[in-house]
Each structure stands twice: as C-alpha cells, then as structure tokens.
Structure 1
Amino acid sequence: MATLELNADNFQQTINQHANVIIDFWAPWCAPCRAFAPTFEAASEKRADVVFAKVNTEEQQEIAAAFSIRSIPTLMIFRDQIIIYSEAGSLPAGAFDQLIEQAMALDMDTVRAEIAGQAGTA
C-alpha cells in the first residue's frame, strides 16, 4: 500500500476510519527524513493492515503544532484513535519492523484500561 499524504482535510478522517495508522512527520530539507523514507515505504508494502501516512511539517504546520512536533523525523503510531507511540528519530529497517510488530501486538483493552486508570487518578 502506498503511503498517504496527510493534510488538514484528511488527517482526522484517516485517524478515525482506520484502526492502525503510522505517521511519519518529515520535511523535504531534512536529510534524516529523506534517508528514512525508503524504510517507511518498504514497511508500508509489507503491512496491508496498517495505513502508512506522512505529514510534511513545512506544508502542514498546524498539524505539526497540534502534536508538538519539535524534531523530525518523528514517528507516531495510532491504534483505535489512541497514540501509542511517539518518538523523534529515524530507525533502521529491522528496528522499525520490530516496532510495528510490538505496536500491533498491544492489547488495546489493556491500553484503554490504563488510560482510564490514569484519568481517574489525575
């Protein structure tokens, strides 16, 4: 599956309509972003159960600001509209594949219970 370019018009709809979304926040001038792009594309070809999307932080500054993106590349993983991973920096292919496997293996009922528990203690 090809990566999807996210913008203000399709960002929320993409997150809401797909259970698994991995977003690469990047910019064209960023050398580490350009170096990570083939790894991101290759992973998208292996996982039909995940939407792989990119946010160009130069063109979509509102989205980047909404998620407090300060360094790029930043990877963010959503499952069931919940951010389960957000980290700046690129990953080698093997580590990225392992991250995806771990993210997809998470028990989302447990994650929701943990979030509810944190909300109750706040």
Structure 2
Amino acid sequence: MSTIDLTAAGFETTITENEIVLVDFWASWCGPCRMFAPIFAAASDRHTDIVFAKVDTEAEQGLAAAAGITSIPTLMAFKDGSLVFSQPGALPAQALEQVVAAVRELDMAKARREARSA
C-alpha cells in the first residue's frame, strides 16, 4: 500500500478504524524529512496491512500542534487507536523495520492492563 496524505479532518478516523497506523510528520523544506520519505514509502510497500500516513506540518499546523510535534520528521505509531510510539528524527530502514515489528508484537490488552495498574 502506498502512503496516504493525512489531514486533521481524517486523522481520528484513520487512527481508530485501522489496527496499525504509522504517521510521518514532515515538511517539504526539511532535509531529514526528504531523506526519510523513500524509506517510509518502501516500508509501506512491504507492509501492505499497515496504514502509512504522512502529515505535512506546514499545511496541517493545527494537527501538528495538537500532536505535540516540536521536531520533524517525527514518526508516530498507533495500534488499536492508541499511541504506542513517538520519536523525532529520520530512522534508517532497519530501525523502521524494528518499530514495525515491535508494534505488530505489542499485546494491547496487556499494555492497557499495565497502564491501568500504574
């Protein structure tokens, strides 16, 4: 699956209606963002069961602010509607694959139980 462009209008629906969503917050003027873009796109082609979305922080300033984006690129991962990973900086392909694997393996029922008891 290719990446999708995500706006404030569709953000919540995309996050809640898909099991796993990876979101790349980026801007066209950002060198590291341009470096990360083909890595993110290639991963989206390999993992067709995951939604790979991009948020242009220039066009979606309100969404970027609501998400607490202070540095770009920032990668966020959501599973079952919950934020499970957030990290600024361009990841190399191998690190992105590790994030995908970790999110896939995450037991959300266990994570929610642990969060309630903390």
TM-score w.r.t. structure 1 length? 0.94
**1:12 partnered with 2:8:** no
Point out 4+ residue stretches in structure 1 off by more than 3 angstroms: none
Aligned to 1:89: 89
Q: Identify unmatched segments of 5+ residues in structure 1.
A: none
Distance 2:18 2:116 in 1: 22
State the Cα distance separating 1:110 from its structure 2 match.
1.0
**1:43 partnered with 2:43:** yes
Distance 2:83 2:44 in 1: 19
Q: Per-residue CA shift, 1:46-70, capped at 9, x if unaligned?
A: 1122100000000001110001100
Q: CA RMSD in A?
A: 0.8
Distance 1:5 1:104 in 2: 22
Distance 1:95 1:16 in 2: 25
Distance 1:2 1:88 in 2: 22
Aligned to 1:54: 54
Q: Identify unmatched segments of 5+ residues in structure 2.
A: none
TM-score w.r.t. structure 2 length? 0.97
Task: State the AA in 1 paired with 2:53.
Answer: A
SS in 1 for 2:28: coil
Distance 2:84 2:72 in 1: 18
